[in-house]
Amino acid sequence: MAVLVTGGAGYIGSHVAWALVDAGYEVVILDDLSTGIRANVPPATRFVLGRVGDRAAVARLLKESQVTAVLHFAASIVVPESVTQPLAYYDNNVSTMVGLLRACDDAGVHQVVFSSSAAVYGAPDRVPIAESAALAPINPYGTTKLVNEWILRDAALSGGGLRYVALRYFNVAGADPAGRTGQSTPVATHLVKLAVQAALGRRPSLSVFGTDYPTDDGTCIRDYIHVSDLADVHVLALRWLEGGGDCQALNCGYGHGYSVRDVVDTVKRVSGVDFPVVIAPRRAGDPPSLVADASRLRSLLGWTPQHDDLDAIVRTALNWEARLGQG
């Protein structure tokens, strides 16, 4: 029996693929390589080049590989881009989910771990944010994630046997401490990666978007979770479903946040490079503060993070970025 990882050549998907291999799973990866990197895929997996939205092809793959569960990562994820190209985001994120779930139904696959986002909460009135908080996304990216959670909920309630865990990521950063994979996309959008690129001279400066938010230093606050800790969550979520666990939506974060300025200062200190910082206007769709209440995740799945340290997150990101420059 095997598990299918859609988008398994991407940043988070490749880390989860490695975690699954480490845990002894047989892993099949489906990716169109539009943003994923083939070299980051574990050699022990079966890689299939293809589109997740191709229902007939996905159903055949599920049956041929005797897949029992799907971990779904393939999606468009850039918030500002979603604001300017909302229809593309609804097409790639929502339509693809419908096709995937119909393929799962065709193949008799009833367990799904879904890559969701804290963006489903929008700009909450209170932090840390519990799963019971209002779901009110403020950008199309967040809306597509919420719609997909609703699709999963309704499919699970239909009586067809589907069970799922939707994992609401906060800000994912860092790289595999063993150096096997990391964030490799040519067009970077995540703060930690952009900052380490500036530290390594790969970009002339780092832009900070907005310094007038209602936070202590005026910059946005985020809950940064190391990607390897997040990968471990996916293995635990899969085991939860395999053990007969019910449907869940769970926050994935550490429960404390850092401002943009905090991250910039940490990257400068860890790298030893005082790179230029440019103050830029706010970006559309950025909430002031997103910090997780992840107590439900810890208690339900027994998750204990191993890398809850901003210095460690930055150091692994720096090491990976330096390695990319040597390739």
What stretch(es) of the chain map to CATH 3.90.25.10?
191-222+255-326
Q: What is the dihedral of CA 131, 257, 8, 39, to 10 degrees?
A: 180
Topology, domain 2-173+224-252:
Rossmann fold (3.40.50)
146-155 per-position pLDDT tens digit: 999 999 999 9
Q: Is the pLDDT of residue 133 over 90?
A: yes
177-222 per-position pLDDT tens digit: 999 999 998 778 899 999 999 999 999 999 999 999 999 999 999 9
Q: Are 170 and 291 in contact (CB under 8 A)?
A: yes
The strand ranges marked E within 2-136 are 2-6, 27-31, 46-49, 67-72, 111-117
Q: What's the whole-model pTM score?
A: 0.96
**CA–CA gap between residue 183 and residue 272 (Å, rounded):** 21
Q: Is the pLDDT of residue 260 over 80?
A: yes
**CA–CA gap between residue 252 and residue 272 (Å, rounded):** 30
Q: What CATH architecture applies to the domain 191-222+255-326?
A: Alpha-Beta Complex (3.90)
Q: Are 284 and 246 in contact (CB under 8 A)?
A: no
Q: Give the pLDDT band (50/70/90) at residue 79.
A: confident
pLDDT-above-70 percentage for the chain:
100
Q: Give the pLDDT band (50/70/90) at residue 88.
A: very high
Nearest CA to 291 among 327, 258, 264, 244? Answer: 258
Q: Is the pLDDT of residue 327 over 60?
A: no
What stretch(es) of the chain map to CATH 3.40.50.720?
2-173+224-252
Q: Are 65 and 270 in contact (CB under 8 A)?
A: no
Query: Would you state the pLDDT for residue 318?
Result: 98
Q: Which residues are catalytic?
A: 141
Query: Would you state the pLDDT for residue 241?
Result: 98
